[in-house]
Amino acid sequence: MIMRDNLQYSTGSAIFDADFYADLIETIQDGVCVLKSGQLILVNQAFCEILGQQREQLIEREFNQFILTEYIELFEQTLHSAFDTEQPPQEIELEIQHSTMNNRWIQIKIKPLVSKQNLVFDVLTLRDITSRKSLVRELELSEQYFKKIIDKLPSIYYRTDASGVLTKISAHSCEMMGYDMDELIGQPLAKFYDDPQQRTKTLAKILANLGKPISVESLLRRKNGSTFWVATCAYARTDDAGEFLGIEGMSIDITERKNIECNLREIAIKDQLTSLMNRFGLQEHLEKSLLRAKRQHSHISIIFIDLDKFKGINDTFGHQAGDFYLAEFAQRLERSFRESDLVARIGGDEFVILLDDNTQSDSISKLLIRLQEIMQEPFMLNDENVSFAYSYGNATFPKHGTTASALLNYADQQMYLAKKQS
């Protein structure tokens, strides 16, 4: 059994006694003490200040007396495990009693030292970490307070890491998405987009804004498969060195607004009488089709149709009957062409059909024959059988024009010539 006795070391021919080491440890800013069988036999001034005691009040007292009861067992276990002098110092954190009755948090490193006489002493280095612990506690309380605020917000709050995986999300987000918290945390945010590719585009916009908040709109998908629109204000998080850490953002549900916008758009581009696209809707689709055809070096065809003697229908049967006549004509136009073709009413009795890309001339002829057959089907208006007489002209990109206006003008001219010949 190794006994603990008076401290004495030998280095070469020099012998240093306890007084030398007592003076030496006074130069150390951390608290230092030496224990013999758990008793304090040597302390420096920094150690005295940590405990708020005078040196003479400490010598020969048990160090355990200054440790809060709940930490004594931890300290003794650590002291015992530090007996192996070949291991690095053991380190623990615990609370001690200060003379002012204000407990202090300290970090203790324990290292046994063996004298020349093979006597073992426990050398403890103490550092007051009360301020650090208070700061950590304040941060924890701030985090808890922040979490309470976030969880009460009627919106989605989220944070991702650099790889796009969710690391934080508010409780209300779970309600909106229909998931439990643990089903969201650790999952890639892109997984919850209706179109994952949309997330890639959104991320590119956020990163391009160099850490400044940016507003984006996205379509998300709930756990039950339903979708909803959100408006998100998000920014790219970086560290002090500018290294990308992830995305942080907040979203609100804008589904109702989107539905209203969609309804307004429908009103703006749809003909109210026939439910066909109006002139604005046709123009939009025709411009997109032209861009695609130019890019793919394909063809686009349009057919311009005008009713013959429609004024006579209104004069004979009245305007309400004339509306029924127009609506029936529109329905027959839709039946005559394919689902991929667009039928639009651009004026009182003027209609345009935008044919699917690469529709060949022989296909146009077949569609016009089908149109003629359907228009010959009987139609009763105020108990009278009336017919549908019409004239048409067609134009093809790029043969007859390379712009929407050029194609429409050419088809209109062809229709006018056909009307004159009928």
Do 153-258 and 270-421 agree at the fold level? no
Range in 93-107, 110-124, 313-327, 345-359 with the lowest mean pLDDT: 110-124
Give residue 14's pLDDT band: very low, low, confident or very high (50, 70, 90). Answer: very low
Rounded to 10 degrees, what is the CA torsion of 134, 140, 144, 146?
90
Instruction: Give me the sign of the Cα torsion angle 38, 39, 45, 49.
Output: positive
Type of residue at 414? Q
Q: Which of 143, 133, 179, 171 is nearest to 155 (CA)?
A: 171
Fold of 270-421: Alpha-Beta Plaits (3.30.70)
Per the CB < 8 A criterion, the answer to whether 354 and 286 are in contact is yes
Condensed to tens digits (0 to 9), the pLDDT of residues 381-395 reads: 888 899 999 999 999
DSSP type of residue 225: S
- Can you tell me the distance from the alpha carbon of 41 to that of 47, in angstroms, rounded to the nearest whole number? 12
Q: Contacts by 91-96 with C-beta closer than 8 Å and gap 24+?
A: 93/129, 94/67, 94/68, 95/67, 95/68, 95/71, 96/50, 96/51, 96/66, 96/67, 96/68
Is the pLDDT reported for residue 416 higher than 90? Answer: yes
- Can you tell me the distance from the alpha carbon of 123 to that of 36, in angstroms, rounded to the nearest whole number? 9
Fold of 9-133: Beta-Lactamase (3.30.450)
- Can you tell me the distance from the alpha carbon of 381 to that of 387, in angstroms, rounded to the nearest whole number? 10
- Can you tell me the distance from the alpha carbon of 78 to that of 72, in angstroms, rounded to the nearest whole number? 10
- Write out the two tokens for 119: 């006597």
Instruction: Give me the sign of the Cα torsion angle 361, 365, 371, 372.
Output: positive
Condensed to tens digits (0 to 9), the pLDDT of residues 123-159 reads: 899 999 988 888 888 877 777 766 666 666 667 889 9
- Can you tell me the distance from the alpha carbon of 170 to that of 155, in angstroms, rounded to the nearest whole number? 8
Please give the CATH superfamily to which domain 153-258 belongs. PAS domain (3.30.450.20)
374/211: higher pLDDT = 374
Q: Which of 193, 231, 237 is nearest to 215 (CA)?
A: 231
- Can you tell me the distance from the alpha carbon of 36 to that of 57, in angstroms, rounded to the nearest whole number? 16
Question: Which residues have a Cβ under 8 Å from the Cβ of 385 and sit 6 or more positions away?
Answer: 378, 379
Is the pLDDT reported for residue 3 higher than 50? Answer: no
- Can you tell me the distance from the alpha carbon of 189 to that of 199, in angstroms, rounded to the nearest whole number? 8
Query: What pLDDT score was predicted for residue 18?
Result: 62
Indicate the domain borders of the chain: 9-133, 153-258, 270-421
DSSP type of residue 67: B
